[in-house]
């Protein structure tokens, strides 16, 4: 999903890129009732162009990708974003015809984020945490 949406955004110059460094706590719930908890870090990249937004990132235990473009496996989407938050929900279908619901909400004032992903009749993932903006102009290397 990341590469398809990234390709859709790469046809023209990206108007704005924001990177966030986020710490999170994740709970993975299985249909058996078992749960696993993890903590970690993830760097999220938010690319916006002409009103379309793509948010993606991969950490050791968590991978996130949502888009306001209906591309690739995205069969439905809701964009409740405003000036104070990004709030994007995608419904996707995987190669095995499984349906996934993914929602990411990031408060632009506090940096708080909430991520939810679930497979119909199966696993669900909830991650919450806080993000800080990475200054793209202040490189160490």
pLDDT tens string 98-128: 999 999 999 999 999 999 999 988 999 999 9
Counting the structural domains of the chain, the total is: 1
Q: Which residue has the higher pLDDT, 132 or 60?
A: 132
Question: What is the C-alpha separation between 45 and 17, in angstroms, rounded?
Answer: 7
Res. 17: pLDDT tops 90: yes
Residue 84 lies in a domain: yes
Tell me: the pLDDT tens digits for 60-103? 889 999 999 998 899 999 999 999 999 999 999 988 889 999 99
Res. 5: pLDDT tops 90: no
Q: Which residue has the higher pLDDT, 83 or 141?
A: 83
Domain limits at 12?
A: 2-134
Strand order in the sheet with 16-29: 63-67, 52-58, 35-49, 16-29, 124-134, 112-119, 99-107, 85-93, 74-79
Residue 117 lies in a domain: yes
* Predicted local distance difference test score (pLDDT) of residue 94: 87
DSSP one-letter string for 66-135: EESS--TTEEEEEE--BTTEEEEEEEEE-TT--EEEEEEEEETTT-EEEEEEEETTS-EEEEEEEEEEE-
Average pLDDT estimate for 31-51: 94
Contact 42, 26 (CB under 8 A): no
Residue 112 lies in a domain: yes
Contact 50, 62 (CB under 8 A): no
Residue 6 lies in a domain: yes
Residue 141 lies in a domain: no
CATH of the domain at 114: 2.40.160
Q: Which residue has the higher pLDDT, 16 or 114?
A: 114
Tokens representing 62 are 């968590």
């Amino acid at each position: 999903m990341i590469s398809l949406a990234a390709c859709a955004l790469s046809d023209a110059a990206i108007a704005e890129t924001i990177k966030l460094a986020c710490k999170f706590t994740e709970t993975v719930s299985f249909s058996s009732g078992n749960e696993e908890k993890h903590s970690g870090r993830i760097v999220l990249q938010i690319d916006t162009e002409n009103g379309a937004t793509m948010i993606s990132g991969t950490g050791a235990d968590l991978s996130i990708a949502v888009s306001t473009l209906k591309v690739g496996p995205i069969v439905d989407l809701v964009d409740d974003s405003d000036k104070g938050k990004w709030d994007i929900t995608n419904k996707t279908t995987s190669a095995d015809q499984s349906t996934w619901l993914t929602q990411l909400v990031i408060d632009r004032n506090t940096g708080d984020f909430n991520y939810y992903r679930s497979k119909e009749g199966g696993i669900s993932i909830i991650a919450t945490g806080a993000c800080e903006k990475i200054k793209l102009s202040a490189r160490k290397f």
